[in-house]
Structure 1
Amino acid sequence: MSAETSVIIPARNESASITPLVSALLRLPAIKEVIVVDDGSSDDTGARAAAAGARVIRHPVSRGNGAAIKSGARAANGEWLVMMDADGQHRAEDVPLLLSRLAEGHDLVVGTRSAQAHANLPRRLANGLYNWLASWLTGQPILDLTSGFRAVRRRAFVQFLPLLPNHFSYPTTSTMCLIRAGYGVHFEPVTVLARTAGTSSHIRPLKDGGRFFIIILKIATLYSPLKVFGTVAATLFAASVWYYAYTYVVAGRFTNAGALLFTTSILAFLIGLVSEQITQLLYATTRAPEDGHVDSSTN
């Protein structure tokens, strides 16, 4: 049986699409409340959401998508949380599907988009790169790192609110945090529609693309530091061996540059080792998944 569910919708200037979305969600029997976080809209997004029956939290000025999600999560009363965009791309009828996966024992269910659902080729390539990098860092297959359509157990999600960025991308951070903390994450294919006429993406591909990359590395060094520093150390060590062999053949000696590469590789490994121990202390303060929850998985 589904638990009581709160839907959190960050919205900024989405008056064209917010009313039908809220109305459709409130018709679902599992939904306890719909929280629309009006993130500094200059139109009547908040008023339309309230008229449709949503509980509206107003940010006088835009704080960012992540900040809106955090405001909604703190205010939510449901045991389960559903996050979705306000631009008409996510369908209310897919919410029961995500909730059914939570009921099976997963802690986070991500609505996974097909490759064709991404707006253009550069974005498809960028998301493919992010998915591959995050999969390598976490050791789990990640099919859609940046999807904003997801359902999660509130007790698992709220632990990581301080780590979520105020802007983009809270999906990236929360997905990697829950996987690295040992929570069960499932990727469920969903249908993604075209944006409602009059709405536009708030993502800036170049600026936010670089931000996504930095976020991935920050979370990786927080939750899997030895993999990052170990890779750097191995690369430097291999370079030192190659350079030593080269200088030995050419000059018959071991140069200072070779010694520097070798020493740096050892230091990088030791930093990773110490960081890994610190990470274990962080795990000790993170509430473990309840017995019976499944491990991270794909469909």
Structure 2
Amino acid sequence: MKISVILPAKNEAGGLPKTLAALRSLLPDSEIIVSDDGSTDETAKLALEAGAKVVSSPYSMGNGAAIKRGTRAARGDVLVFMDADGQHDPVHITRLLARLENGYDMVVGARDWAGQAGVHRGMANTFYNWLASRMTGARVMDLTSGFRVVKADKFREFLHLLPNGFSYPTTSTMAFFRSAYAVAYEPIPVHKRIGKSHIKPVRDGIRFLLIIFKIATLYSPLKLFVPIALAFSFGGLAWYAWTFATMHRFTNMSALLFSAAVIVFLIGLISEQITALTFKRND
């Protein structure tokens, strides 16, 4: 089993040498790839000096784009993704690999509350985990963790779905669950990152939500559309009850809400049929 370790990196000269030294010590026979996302410091130079394979972009395209470039360059049967900023300790890779050998297709290093970068990020990630669990029907313990090991052939099936920004963990996790690939979580501690985070909480938070809905629509549309249709239905029913009790009439607003419920539900059915045809074609 050949292992490829992929580290997306943008201006990570501060923490990268320590991470690469630890990786080389723990996994001497593995392929180590640093996917340089348009760094303006010595990230690429330090990676080459440490004996890593470097794939670079002339300008920054995003963390997801770096993951895609690194995956295309990898030759391993198993891919290990981890941050280059010192948050992830390479010593935990062996635990993730051990779980993978038990029949799983992907094993994710799950952070606890102490591993979250602040209260606001922790609350946001808790909400993302809950929402993704509802959409996939499986327990999602850490939707946004960038520390994971995965079978290369399975991961490449979804490479075209990955966004270029900071949401590749979200997309890949939900895609694996909805495709019935076995996913496990392994609790891990994380360290404080070295250097400055590139995540913008508001902008990237909205993107995470959009990606959750996008993958849910792609793999299980009715789980998204039915609750919305029911909300319109109950809204129309409640408004009708109110107007009937106060004015003894059925208003245009009630008709609009009921119509919206029917339209949303029908869109969900059509999306479900399109999804079924897509899976049938791929099979």
| Band the TM-score falls in, shorter-chain normalisation | over 0.9
Residue 26 of structure 2 aligns to a residue whose secondary structure is: coil
1:277 Cα deviation from its structure 2 partner = 1.4
1:94 corresponds, among 92, 95, 98, to 92
Matching of residue 275 in structure 1 with residue 268 in structure 2: no
> Hey, what's the Cα distance between the residues in 2 that align with 1:130 and 1:252?
43
Matches within 5 A, 1:1-299: 3-29=1-27, 31-196=29-194, 199-285=195-281
Q: Give the aligned residue type for 2:45.
A: A
1:206 Cα deviation from its structure 2 partner = 1.4
Question: Cα deviation per residue 1:26-61 (whole Å; 9 max; x = unaligned)?
Answer: 223475200001111111111111111100001111
1:107 Cα deviation from its structure 2 partner = 0.7
> Hey, what's the Cα distance between the residues in 2 that align with 1:76 and 1:99?
17
> Hey, what's the Cα distance between the residues in 1 that align with 2:70 and 2:282?
22
1:253 Cα deviation from its structure 2 partner = 2.1
> Hey, what's the Cα distance between the residues in 1 that align with 2:145 and 2:98?
18
Give me the CA root mean square deviation.
1.3
1:285 Cα deviation from its structure 2 partner = 4.8
Compute the TM-score of the two structures, normalised by the length of structure 1: 0.91
Residue 55 of structure 2 aligns to a residue whose secondary structure is: strand
> Hey, what's the Cα distance between the residues in 1 that align with 2:124 and 2:29?
34
1:281 Cα deviation from its structure 2 partner = 2.4
> Hey, what's the Cα distance between the residues in 2 that align with 1:286 and 1:96?
34
Compute the TM-score of the two structures, normalised by the length of structure 2: 0.96
* Contact 1:181 1:286 (8 Å CA) reproduced: no
Residue 222 of structure 1 aligns to a residue whose secondary structure is: helix
Number of residues of Structure 1 aligned to a counterpart in Structure 2: 283
> Hey, what's the Cα distance between the residues in 1 that align with 2:2 and 2:26?
12
Residue 27 of structure 1 aligns to a residue whose secondary structure is: helix
Task: Name structure 1 gaps, 5 residues minimum.
Answer: 288-299
1:113 Cα deviation from its structure 2 partner = 0.7
Q: Give the aligned residue type for 2:7.
A: I
> Hey, what's the Cα distance between the residues in 1 that align with 2:224 and 2:257?
17
Structure 2 partner of 1:294: none
> Hey, what's the Cα distance between the residues in 2 that align with 1:233 and 1:244?
16
1:135 Cα deviation from its structure 2 partner = 0.9
Task: Name structure 2 gaps, 5 residues minimum.
Answer: none
Question: Cα deviation per residue 1:178-210 (whole Å; 9 max; x = unaligned)?
Answer: 1111111111101211223xx111111111111
Q: Which runs of 4+ in 1 moved over 4 A?
A: none
> Hey, what's the Cα distance between the residues in 1 that align with 2:282 and 2:4?
23
> Hey, what's the Cα distance between the residues in 1 that align with 2:28 and 2:150?
14
Q: Give the aligned residue type for 1:282.
A: T
